[in-house]
């Protein structure tokens, strides 16, 4: 039980893909202009990560053909989530379309599938993928919350594109109208805020 | 002609793949610690990127569209990229062993460079023609190479700088990239 818990939490804190391993930075910076976008991509990535890791651990993969095989598995799950999002969350999908399709080249997924899932039983691969996926999601949510509050002064705007009607009034205004810092939403702001966040989290990394 | 030129400049500077689209950040951070690494990585990426954008265009329009398989574009494109990387590696290893010594280690990494797939997907979304796709890919590839070299040169200066302990390494690199991105935003007045 404790072992399972360690497998799960390892990806969230000690080996957090974004903050500690600096993997999957591209989508983490690109879509985090609002919590809705960040959450959408985090869910999509979690889906692909869990799906491809379980499959990679369940079926035997010959050593020589492992990279093409893993890439093929990951691409299949990416295609699946693209089709699901196109069908059920089209407005959101349109905003982050490029980065959802780019999940296939997310180094986090290939690294976990090749480095862990392939040599471990499916239930361990599932826990590991869930942990890493949650770690990725938490990093994405933290960065997007920070950028949305600073850049637009709101939190949870546009969540209805992800959760439907019931999320209509989830939008919270954090800063007063007009008090906003648009740089946070622009590309330079993403780099600067990510740099400050990594600097702030440095002690955690050294534990 | 003027359209093609503005497409090229757009991909190279105005919508720079690394600093504006955030594509190819992993090699941007990973391969920029030394100038000669950056040069080799940039060359390998440039070559594969242009080749794969052209091949993806042909595969999409002459294979996927006729058979109604456009939903499988991601699988098709990533296999094209992986195949081209393998092919390039084989060719370079046998025809130019000297180049292989410098580029060999970087070629396999190009497969997981999201800029390569990104260019193919953006060209598709913008419905570019074959020549336009080539020009666009060429601009994007040069843009990647340019900022990679600039960044590697800046990081070399940073090595000697007295950075606060907490910011040493990745944080200061990210902040440097932020200022480069800010500088590149100046190009956005140039058109489009």
* Whole-complex ipTM: 0.86
In this complex, which of B72, B74, B167 lies closest to A199 when CB atoms are compared? B167
User: What is the model's pLDDT at position B75?
Assistant: 93
User: What is the model's pLDDT at position A203?
Assistant: 64
Between chains, do B185 and A187 touch, taking CB under 8 Å as contact?
Answer: yes
Identify the closest residue of chain A to B70 by CA–CA distance: A79
For A72, A102, A130, A186, B108, the CA distances from A31, given in Å and listed in that order, are: 25, 12, 21, 11, 27
User: What is the model's pLDDT at position A44?
Assistant: 94
State the pTM of this model.
0.88
Identify the closest residue of chain A to B80 by CA–CA distance: A68
Cα–Cα dist A32/A26, whole Å: 10
Closest by CA to A41, choosing from A90, A103, A91, is A103
**What mean pLDDT, rounded, does chain A reach?**
85
Q: What angle do CA B33, B36, B37 make, to 5 degrees?
A: 55
Q: Which residues of A138-147 are buried (b: 16+ CB within 10 A; e: fewer)?
A: bbbebbbbbb
Please give the backbone phi and psi of residue B50, each rounded to the nearest 5 degrees, phi first. -65, -45
Instruction: Enumerate the β-bridge partners of residue A98.
Output: none
* A60-110 per-position pLDDT tens digit: 888 888 888 898 999 999 999 999 999 988 888 888 889 999 999 888 888
Is residue A207 scored above 50 in pLDDT? no
Between chains, do B172 and A195 touch, taking CB under 8 Å as contact?
Answer: yes
Closest by CA to A205, choosing from A20, A9, A23, is A20
In this complex, which of A25, A71, A82 lies closest to B78 when CB atoms are compared? A71
Closest by CA to B124, choosing from B192, B52, B18, B47, is B52
Closest by CA to A162, choosing from A83, A79, A93, is A93
Closest by CA to B133, choosing from B76, B68, B70, B50, is B50
User: What is the model's pLDDT at position A1?
Assistant: 60
| CB-CB contact of B15 with B21 (8 Å) | yes
Contacts of B113 in chain A (CB under 8 A): 105
Residue of B49, B52, B78 to mutate, testing the A interface (most A Cβ within 10 Å of its Cβ): B78
Shortest Cα–Cα distance, B138 to chain A (Å):
20
């Amino acid at each position: 039980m404790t072992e399972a818990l360690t497998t799960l939490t390892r990806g969230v804190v000690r080996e957090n893909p974004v903050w500690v391993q600096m993997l999957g930075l591209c989508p983490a910076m690109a879509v985090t202009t609002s919590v809705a976008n960040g959450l959408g991509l985090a869910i999509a990535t979690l889906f692909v990560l869990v799906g491809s890791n379980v499959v990679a651990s369940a079926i035997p993969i010959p050593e020589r053909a492992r990279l093409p095989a893993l890439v093929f598995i990951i691409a299949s799950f990416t295609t699946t989530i693209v089709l699901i999002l196109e069908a059920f969350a089209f407005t959101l999908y349109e905003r982050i379309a490029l980065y959802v399709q780019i999940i296939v080249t997310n180094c986090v997924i290939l690294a976990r599938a090749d480095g862990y899932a392939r040599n471990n039983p499916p239930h361990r691969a599932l826990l590991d993928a869930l942990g890493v996926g949650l770690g990725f999601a938490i990093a994405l949510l933290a960065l997007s919350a920070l950028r949305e509050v600073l850049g637009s002064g709101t939190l949870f705007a546009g969540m209805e594109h992800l959760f439907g009607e019931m999320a209509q009034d989830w939008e919270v205004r954090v800063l007063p109208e007009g008090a906003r810092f648009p740089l946070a939403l622009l590309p330079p702001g993403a780099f600067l805020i990510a740099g400050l966040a990594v600097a702030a989290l440095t002690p955690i990394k050294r534990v | 002609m003027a359209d093609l030129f503005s497409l090229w400049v757009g991909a190279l500077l105005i919508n720079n793949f690394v600093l504006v689209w955030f594509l190819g950040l992993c090699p941007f951070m990973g391969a920029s610690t030394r100038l000669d690494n950056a040069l080799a990585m940039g060359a390998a990426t440039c070559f594969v990127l242009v080749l794969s954008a052209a091949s993806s265009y042909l595969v999409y329009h002459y294979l996927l569209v006729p058979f109604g398989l456009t939903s499988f574009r991601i699988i098709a494109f990533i296999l094209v990229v992986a195949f081209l990387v393998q092919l390039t590696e084989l060719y370079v290893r046998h025809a130019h062993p000297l180049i292989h010594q410098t580029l060999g280690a970087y070629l396999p990494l190009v497969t997981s460079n999201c800029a390569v797939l990104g260019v193919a997907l953006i060209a598709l979304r913008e419905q570019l023609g074959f020549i336009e796709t080539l020009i666009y890919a060429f601009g994007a590839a040069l843009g990647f190479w340019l900022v990679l070299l600039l960044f590697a040169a800046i990081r070399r200066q940073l090595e000697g700088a007295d950075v606060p302990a907490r910011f040493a390494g990745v944080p200061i690199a990210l902040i440097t990239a932020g200022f480069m991105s800010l500088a590149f935003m100046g190009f956005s007045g140039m058109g489009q």
